[in-house]
Structure 1
Amino acid sequence: MATERPRDARHREIDAIVEAKAGGVAETRDEADKYTVLGAASRRTFANWLTPTEEHFVCHRNDIPDADADAWTVSLTGEFDGELSMADVRDEYPTVAVAHTMECAGNGRGQHRPETGSVQWDCEAAATAFWTGTPVSSILRDHGVTDPEGRWLTAIGGDPSDGDDVFARSIPLEKALDDCVLAYEMNGEPLPREHGYPVRLIVPGWYGVNNVKWVEELRVMDSMVVEGSLERPGEHAHWQQVSYRIHPRGNEPDENETVDTYDTWAQLEGAVEHPYPFDANVMSLIGTPDGASPITVRAGETVEVRGVAWAGDDAVDRVQVSTDGGDTWIDAELFGPDYAGTWRLFRYDWDAEPGRHTLLSCATDDLGRRQPSRISEPDAWRDALENDEYPWNEGGYASNAYEPNGVEVQVHADDDRNVSK
C-alpha cells in the first residue's frame, strides 16, 4: 500500500508542531516512519475536562495540504450533488459547538505483547475539545437527504498522498444526521493546520479515524466505501476495509458493503466479523497523581486521585479506583460536565500511606460493560472478553484494558522539621 511509505517531511513537521504546541505534546514511535504522531506529554492532561489545543494529540499519515480557506471547496457527490465553499459552510447554515472526546483507534497499541506494527501509542492519544462548525444534518437536509436507512456518508480528505490514493472513511448516515459537524474552529480558534484546517468532520464519541481532516468531498452512498465505489483512480478503501479492522493474527478481513451494528463492543461480541472501530469503548485514565515524581503527605492528609472516563456513544455509569494494584476497589465520584460523547471527570480522596503503590482505574458504561483487566495473548481471541481480557488484535485497535494504564506512585511521609511555619 503506497500510503505506508516513509514520508520525507515527517520529522520536520513534527518538530514544527512540537514547537507550536509549546511542549504540550511529545513524539510517539512510528515503525513505518510515515505517520506524524504526537501525544499528550504529561498524564496531567487527563486530570482536566477540557484539553488545551496545545496538549491535544495529533495523528495523520499524509502531508498537510497547503490549504487556502478562501479557495477550499467541499464537493457533494453520490446521491446528492453540489459544491460548497468555506463561505457557504460558514454563512449559509446554522453554527453549533459540540464537545467531543476523541481517541485514536490505536491508543494503547504499544501495550500489546507481542508488539504490533505502526504507531506505538501508550495512553496519550485521547483528548476533549470544543469544535465549532456546521451541522452535517443541515447540509444533507438542504440537499434532500433525509432517509438514513441503509445509507452511508463517506468523507474524503484532501491531504496529498502517494499517487492517486486517498484517505476515505464511511460512517452510517444515521450518525451523520444525528450529531456530526463540519468544524472550522477548535476551542474557539480557527482549526490549526495539523487538526484539519480549513474543515474537518467531527463524529462525537467515535474514534479519531472517523473524524476526517481536510474534508474535500462528502459522498452519500448505499454502502461503505469499497474499492471502485468513489469513481476515481487509485486505492481508496484501504483505511475502511483493510486497515482499521479488528482481527486476530494472520486473518485477512473481507470487504463489507454494509454492517448493521456500529457499536464497537457489540461487534467484538460477535455482531460483526472483523469489527470496525466506530464508537469508543469504555475507558478511563488517571491524570493525577501522574507518577512522574514522589508525593509527600502529612499525617491526616489525603491525596486526590483524579482522572477521566468515557464510553463513546454510551454514558459512563461508574468508575472504581484501586490503590493496591487491583486487590481492592473503591467507587470514585463522577463530577463536572456531563455531555454526550465526552468524558467525565472522576475523583477519589486517597488516605495514602508511605511506600510504593500501583494506582488503577476501571470504568463501567451504562450498558454494564466494564473495562477488562489486561490484553490477551494473540491466540485467545474467541475467549478474551469472557476471561476479563481485551482481545489482542493485529492492528492493536480499540484497546481499553485498565492494567497497562496503571500509575506507579511513590509516597513519602512529611518531615515536620522541614515544613514552613
Structure 2
Amino acid sequence: MTGDPGSDDAFRPQRLLASGVVAAAAGVAAVGGSYAAVGRTPAFVAAPVADLVVALTPDAVVTWSIQTLGDLGHQLGFLLALALTVGLFALTAAAGAALADRFAVPAWPVAGVGCVAAAVTLVGAPRSALAAGAGAGLVVGLASVGIGSGADATAPTAARRRVLQAVAGAFAVGGVGAVLGSGKGGRVPDPVDDGEVAADVGSLLGEAESRSLDVPGIEPLVSEQFYQVDINSVDPAVDLEEWTLSVTGAVEEEVEFDFGEISGMTDAVEHRFVTLRCVGEGLNGEKMDTALWTGVPVTDLLESAGVDASGNCCVMLRAADDYFEEFPLSALRNGFLAFEMNGRPLPRSHGYPMRALIPGHWGEINVKWLTEIEVLEEEATGYWEKRGWHGTGPVNTVAKLHAVNHRDDGSIQVGGHAYAGTRGIRKVEVSTDGGDSWNEATLSEPLPAGTGRRDSAGGSSGSESRSRSGAAEDAWRQWEYTYEADAPHEVVVRATDGEGNRQPKKRRDAFPSGPTGWVSRRVEP
C-alpha cells in the first residue's frame, strides 16, 4: 500500500467509507419503505424503537423536557428513535453486503432479506417488513449499477458513483415513503348519520359559536385545534371490530362490552361540552381546549358489574398503549365514556374508538384508547405518579392572557380563557397597572349543558341535573377587556372560581401538581 498507487489497499479507506454511506442510505430506505406501507402506526419499524427510547429515558430528563422543551422534546425523542432505527437497518444491510461479498453473490437480495428479518423481529408486520426490505435492497442494488468488476470496482471513481447512486436512491425512496405514508393510519370510519344526533350536535355547536366573544387571537369556545399529549411517538391503531372495554377487579361480576353495545345505549347517550387541560403545560400555555363530546356515563357500565361509584375504593383506567392512571372511584360518578368529538368519531390521536372524560381533573387521567376499568380495593400508583407527578387531583384555576389587540380607535383589547374545572368561573379581573388596581372583564356566556338523545323525544337526559343552572359542568369561558393607554404598562389577569376562591398569586412550576400564579404581560401602546 505504501508505494503502489494501483494497489487495492490504497483505495481501502475510500471503499470502506463508500460502503458505510451505502449502508446508511439502505437504512434510510428501509425506514422510508416501511413508512410508505403503513404510515405512522404501530407497524412502522420505528415505533418499537420510539417506545424503547421513552422507556429508557430517566424520569428527571422527561420532567425537564416537559417543562423546558414542551412538544419539541417529544419530537426530538422521535427523531432520536428514527436515527437509531436507520442505524439498525444500516448495520443489517452492511452485514448482508459483507456476507454476499464473501460468497460472491449479489448484495442487494441478501441485504434486503436481512432487513425483512430485522423488521419482522421489530414489528411482526409482514407488509411493513417486506416494504423495509424492498427499500433497502433497492438502494443496495442501485449502488452497484454501472460498476464494473476487478480493478474498476475498486477505483475511487467507482466508490464515488456508488455513494451518489445510493444517496439518490435513499432520497427517492424516502420521498415516496413520506408521500404515501402520510395518509395512512389516521383514518376512522364515517359516523352513522341517523339525523337525530347530527341535529343535536349541530344545534349545540351553533349555540357555542353564538356565545363566543369576538376577540381576534383566541380560540372560540369550541377549539379549532385541540392539543394532543401522549406517552407515545406513534399512537395505537385500534381495530374497532376487535376492541372491547372490560370492567374488572373488585366487582361482583366482571363484564366486557364491545363498541356496538356501548354506543347502542341510546337512552344513555349524551352530548357534553368538556374542557381538558394538561398538567405539564406552562402557566400561560396553550394545552387547554374544549370540544363537544358524545358518549355515555361510566356509571351505566359500573352498575352492570355491580359497582357502586360512591364507594371509597379506587379505580385504574388502562389503555391500548399500556398507559394507566389511578384515582378515587368517586370521581367516576359523573365520568363519561366519549366515542365522538364534535359530532364525528374520535380521531385516532384523541383515543379512537373510546376515551374517558373525568370532570374537573387534569387531562392526564382522561385516558385515551380505553380498554379496561379496573376497580381496586386499595390505592395504587398511576403512570405519571410513578414519575413524581400528582396530576390526579382537581385542576387549578387559571385565567390565560393570549390576545393583545390594538384597535382602530386607539384602544387596546386583551383577552383569553379562564377555567376552574367543575367549580366554574365567577369572574375574571384585569389590571393594567401591574396589579395596583383591578377591573372586571367581560365573560362569555357559559356553554350550555349537554343533551341526551331522549331530549329529542321530550324526555330528560339527566345531564341538566349535573350542571349548574343549565350550564356546562366542566368547561372554560372566554374573557375580554378593552381600555385606553398611552404608555407602556403591565397587564395582569386573575380569575375567581364559582365557589368564590381567587386564583393563587404565587407562581409555581407545572411539576408536580400543575402550574399556578397570575399571568402578566408587558404591553406597548
Shorter chain as normaliser: what TM range?
A: 0.5 to 0.7
Q: In 1, are the aligned partners of 2:272 and 2:472 still within 8 Å (CA)? A: no
Q: Measured at CA, do residues 390 and 302 of structure 1 come closer, stay the same or move farther in structure 2, by a change above 3 Å?
A: closer
Q: 1:189 aligns with which of 329, 334, 344?
A: 344
Counterpart contact for 1:48–1:308, Cα < 8 Å? no
Q: Are 1:4 and 1:32, in contact at CA under 8 Å, matched by a contact in 2?
A: no
**SS of alignment partner, residue 495 of structure 2:** strand
Alpha-carbon distance in structure 2 between the residues aligned to 1:44 and 1:56: 18
Q: Distance in 2 between matches of 1:184 and 1:331?
A: 38
1:49 aligned partner: 221
How far did 1:396 drift? 4.9
For residues 398 and 65 of structure 1, what CA distance do their matches in structure 2 show? 27
Amino acid at match of 1:344: R
Which residue number in structure 2 is paired with residue 266 of structure 1?
none
Summarize the Cα distance change of 1:325–1:193 in structure 2 as closer, same or farther, 3 Å threshold: same
Q: CA 1:103/1:368 → structure 2, altered by over 3 Å: closer, same or farther?
A: same
Match of 1:88 in 2: 261
CA deviations over 1:152-207 (Å, ceiling 9, x no partner) = 22110111xxxxxx321122221212x21111111111111111111110112211
Residue 153 to residue 277, structure 1, CA distance change in 2 (3 Å): closer
Q: Separation in 2 of the partners of 1:138 and 1:363?
A: 35
- Mark the CA change 1:45 to 1:139 in structure 2 (over 3 Å): closer, same or farther: farther
In 2, Cα distance between equivalents of 1:46 and 1:85 = 39
Q: Structure 1 stretch 322-331 or stretch 56-65: which is displaced more?
A: 322-331
Whole-Å Cα distance in 1 between the matches of residues 514 and 78 of structure 2?
18
Confirm whether residue 72 of structure 1 aligns to residue 243 of structure 2: yes
User: Residue 58 in 1 paired to residue 228 in 2?
Assistant: yes
Quick one: distance in 2 between partners of 1:154 and 1:35? 28
Identity between Structure 1 and Structure 2 (%): 27
Candidates 437, 442, 461, aligned match of 1:328: 437
Letter in 1 for 2:514: A
1:107-122 equivalence runs, <5 A: 107-108=281-282
Letter in 1 for 2:379: M
Alignment equivalent of 1:278, drawn from 377, 393, 401: 393
1:209 partner amino acid: E
Residue 200 (structure 1) aligned with residue 355 (structure 2): yes
Asked if 1:169 corresponds to 2:169, the answer is no
> Structure 2: how far apart are the matches of 1:297 and 1:357?
19
Q: Kindly state the Cα deviation for residue 212 of structure 1 after the two structures are TM-superposed.
A: 0.4
Distance change >3 Å, CA 153–CA 44, structure 1 → 2: farther
Give the Å deviation of 1:150: 1.1
Number of the residue aligned with 2:126: none
User: 1:74-99 CA distances to partner (integer Å, 9 max, x unpaired)?
Assistant: 12210230211111111136211111
1:104 aligns with 2:278: yes
Structure with higher strand content: 1
Which stretches in structure 2 are left out of the alignment for 5+ residues? 1-48, 56-68, 80-214, 447-470
> Any conservation in 1 of the 2:399–2:416 contact (CA below 8 Å)?
yes
Does residue 348 (structure 1) correspond to residue 481 (structure 2)? The answer is yes
The residue that corresponds to 1:239 in the other structure is: 384
- 2:414 aligns with 305
> How far apart are residue 355 of structure 1 and its match?
3.9
Specify the SS of the correspondent of 2:488.
strand
Is the CA contact (8 Å cut-off) linking 2:508 and 2:517 kept in structure 1?
A: no
Please name the residue that 1:364 is paired with: 496
Q: Distance in 2 between matches of 1:185 and 1:147?
A: 24
TM-score under structure 1 length normalisation: 0.64
Q: Which residue of structure 2 lines up, in the alignment, with residue 148 of structure 1?
A: 310
Q: Which has the higher helix share?
A: 2
Contact 1:131 1:184 in 2 (8 A): yes
Change (3 A) 1:152 1:27: closer
Cα offsets for 1:34-75 (capped at 9, x unmatched): 489xxxxxx9664522212xx111100123112122221112
Matched-pair contact (CA < 8 Å) for 1:107–1:125: yes
Larger radius of gyration: 2
One-letter amino acid of the counterpart of residue 305, structure 2: H
User: Which of residues 381, 387, 404 is equivalent to 1:289?
Assistant: 404
TM-score (structure 2 length as normaliser): 0.52
Question: What does the per-residue CA deviation read over 1:221-275, in whole Å, with 9 as the maximum and x for residues that have no partner?
Answer: 123334xxxxxxxxxx442344323xxxxxxxxxxxxxxxxxxxxxxxxxxxxxx
Q: What is the aligned partner in structure 1 of residue 138 from structure 2?
A: none
- Residues of 2 paired with 1:4 and 1:330: CA distance? 49
* TM-aligned CA distance change 1:320 to 1:57, over 3 Å: same
Secondary structure, in 3 states, of the residue corresponding to 1:50? coil
- Report the Cα offset of residue 7 of structure 1: 5.5
Does the C-alpha gap of structure 1 residues 221 and 144 become closer, same or farther in structure 2, counting only changes over 3 Å? same
Look up the match of 2:12: none
Shift of 1:356: 3.2
Compute the displacement of 1:334 (Å): 2.5
Structure 1 CA distance for aligned equivalents of residues 258 and 521 of structure 2 = 48
Give the SS at the match of 2:396: coil
Q: Which residue of 1 aligns with 2:451?
A: none
Residues 35 and 360 (structure 1 numbering): CA distance in 2 closer, same or farther, change over 3 Å? farther
Q: Distance in 2 between matches of 1:207 and 1:72?
A: 26
Q: Report what 1:18 is aligned to.
A: none
Deviation at 1:401, TM superposition (A): 1.2
- Closer, same or farther: CA 187–243 of 1 in aligned 2, 3 Å: farther
- The structure with higher relative contact order (CA 8 Å, sep 6+) is 1
